[in-house]
DNA sequence: CGTCGCGTTGACGTAGCTCAACCTACGTGG
DNA sequence: CCACGTAGGTTGAGCTACGTCAACGCGACG
């Protein structure tokens, strides 16, 4: 970023370092991990928090890799992937902006999945030691951490109950409703068919066919930017 | 239990109260939530921890119910169930002895699933206030709580990657290996076909047929006590 | 221009669902 | 004691939703 300021990116292959984080003026401060903390506490300890950019399809870390940092998604979309020995690829869950990734290293030594960017993604890299230090003096962080863990758990349960259950039509409909961006659920994130299939436990062809059908019915329009949906219609399909 | 000692079980319908917990001498103390705490800290604050017994098929709490306690499984097996509006029943995960149930009330007000006993189960009921009080003065509990949360998350991920993916044969094989009791994975918990189906996202008939086939192959014996399996053979089936 | 990545569509096979009959073990009430 | 109902499991026959394989389309890019 600045001349003479060396990027400390030895720890991460694909991401590019774009500076130190200014957590106090983060544009999504209200939803971030440290949102409960006071201004001055932030200023003191968040110096070693890096700001990263991860290009679509590049990976942040791999399953089984040793790690000493958690990440928060500032912008974009990240997928957690599990590759089975037989080659099966299953997306475990998607992380939207505000989500925390890799919390397992707070408890374990290694990451449990492969984290890959679906779209171009901005992240904060928070070293584990920053969290453990802050944790010692600030009880509010415990609550924040617990909340994040519960969020991940809720996401996982959603994948089980909504995205791995029922007909292909129901799953795709639920998927589209879940990856909605705005509160009215009219525009959604864009994912490749292959990713959708890996998330829903279906094949690319089946997903493609269901998408085609939804489009024929006018429930879905795939423009240049992002897919737009009719949430009411899809809600009906989702419940059967 | 003792005459004149009234059971404080107004909060729970199906479980029966069987006394206060003696956490210091708990037979599974090493694996329990408070295993990191010192003896004297336990003695002080764990008075309001109840010891419960839950008969097979009765439920501990329901989805959406407001709650103010988490539970740990001492003996037996508990299922977390999600009932979809259309009647679909999906088991989200199974809790073996040592697991913590209902941690969402540490962060939220209500439970996120229905918790039901698969077999006769012994539980400890730990009020949320006990945890929040202990948390204030004992940092070791944070670690313990995080570890439990991560355990739940790992369990959830297991359901996604192992039990909701692949052929019916692979799923059933992986299921049998996962519900093994002993380290050699030769004997497993017993579940009704209906529960297995709800956990694997299959139908009772399919599960029954796969079981029959495994038995014909000699990979599985269902005795009076608990099913016994050939882990090597099932491992082979599990990976495809 | 050819290649590559991604998506679509068709033809066909099959794994798993559905519906139905039936069986055994077990409990309950006359 | 038997008669009956019920809960859980098994098995078969047929259907269909989804997977598989293959061809093709189309834009991006070198």
- Tell me the pLDDT tens digit for each residue of B149-202: 999 999 999 999 999 999 999 999 999 999 999 999 999 999 999 999 999 999
Q: Given this structure, which CATH class describes domain A10-156?
A: mainly beta
| Contact by Cβ (8 Å): A61, A125 | no
At residue A12, does pLDDT exceed 60? no
Chain A residues 172 to 211 whose Cβ lies within 7 Å of strand C are: 192-194, 204-205, 208-209, 211
CATH 2.60.120.10, chain B: domain bounds:
11-158
Whole-number CA gyration radius for chain B:
19
**CATH number of the domain at B11-158, please?**
2.60.120.10
CATH 2.60.120.10, chain A: domain bounds:
10-156
The larger pLDDT score, comparing residue A219 to residue A136, is at: A219
Q: Which of B131, B138, B156 is the best substitution to test chain A (most A C-beta atoms within 10 A)?
A: B156
Q: Which residues of A touch B84 (CB under 8 A)?
A: 161, 165, 239
For chain A, give the percent of residues with pLDDT over 90: 72
Measured distance CA(B96)–CA(B104) in Å, rounded: 18
B107 touches chain A (CB under 8 A): yes
CATH 1.10.10.10, chain A: domain bounds:
164-238
At residue B89, does pLDDT exceed 90? yes
Torsion, Cα of B100, B106, B111, B117 (10° steps): 20
At residue B31, does pLDDT exceed 90? no
Residues in chain A, total: 240
What pLDDT is attached to residue A21? Answer: 77
Q: Is the CB of A169 under 7 A from strand D?
A: yes
| Contact by Cβ (8 Å): A82, A114 | yes
Nearest by Cα to A71 from A118, A25, A112, A122: A122
Question: Å from A205 (CA) to D23 (C1')?
Answer: 14
Q: Give mean pLDDT, residues B112-126.
A: 96
For chain A, give the percent of residues with pLDDT over 70: 90
Q: Which residues of A touch B106 (CB under 8 A)?
A: 146, 150
At residue B28, does pLDDT exceed 50? yes
Q: Please, what is the average pLDDT of chain A?
A: 90
Question: What are A91's strand-pairing partners?
Answer: A81
B83 touches chain A (CB under 8 A): no
Neighbouring residues of A126: CB distance < 8 A, sequence distance ≥ 6: A33, A49, A69, A70, A71, A72
Query: What fold characterizes domain B164-238?
Result: Arc Repressor Mutant, subunit A (1.10.10)
Q: How confident is the model at residue B8 (pLDDT cuts 50, 70, 90)?
A: very low
**Do the Cβ atoms of B146 and A106 come within 8 Å?**
yes
Q: Which of B85, B113, B164 lies at the smallest CB-CB distance from A201?
A: B164
Q: Is the CB of B168 under 7 A from strand C?
A: yes
Measured distance CA(A79)–CA(A57) in Å, rounded: 10
Nearest by Cα to B16 from B1, B32, B33: B1
What pLDDT is attached to residue B13? Answer: 63
pTM comes to 0.93
**Do the Cβ atoms of B157 and A239 come within 8 Å?**
no
**Do the Cβ atoms of A150 and B146 come within 8 Å?**
no
DSSP assignment, residue B63?
T
Nearest CA in chain A to B167: A201
What pLDDT is attached to residue A65? Answer: 97
* E strands in A67-202: 69-75, 78-83, 89-95, 100-101, 114-117, 121-127
At residue B64, does pLDDT exceed 90? yes
Q: Report pLDDT digits (tens) over A141-179.
A: 888 999 999 999 999 999 999 999 999 999 999 999 999
């Amino acid at each position: 970023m600045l001349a003479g300021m060396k990027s400390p990116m030895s720890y991460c292959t694909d991401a590019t370092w774009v500076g130190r984080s200014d957590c106090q003026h983060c544009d999504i401060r209200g939803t971030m991990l440290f949102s409960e903390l006071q201004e001055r506490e932030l200023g003191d300890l968040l110096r070693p928090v890096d700001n990263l950019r991860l290009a679509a399809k590049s990976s942040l870390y791999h399953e089984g890799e040793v790690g000493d940092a958690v990440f928060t998604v500032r912008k974009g979309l990240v997928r957690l992937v599990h590759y089975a020995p037989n080659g099966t690829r299953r997306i475990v869950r998607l992380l939207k902006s505000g989500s925390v990734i890799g919390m397992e290293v707070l408890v374990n030594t290694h990451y449990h999945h492969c984290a890959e960017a679906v779209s171009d993604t901005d992240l904060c890299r928070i070293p584990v030691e920053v969290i453990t230090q802050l944790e010692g003096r600030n009880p509010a962080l415990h609550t924040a951490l617990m909340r994040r863990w519960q969020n991940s758990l809720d996401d996982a349960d959603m994948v089980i109950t909504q995205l791995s259950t029922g007909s292909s039509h129901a799953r795709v409909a639920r998927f589209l409703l879940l990856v909605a961006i705005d509160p009215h659920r009219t525009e959604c994130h864009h994912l490749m068919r292959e990713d959708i299939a890996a998330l829903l436990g279906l094949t690319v062809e089946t997903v493609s066919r269901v998408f085609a059908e939804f489009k024929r019915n006018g429930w879905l329009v795939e423009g240049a930017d992002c897919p737009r949906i009719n949430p009411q219609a899809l809600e009906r399909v989702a419940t059967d």
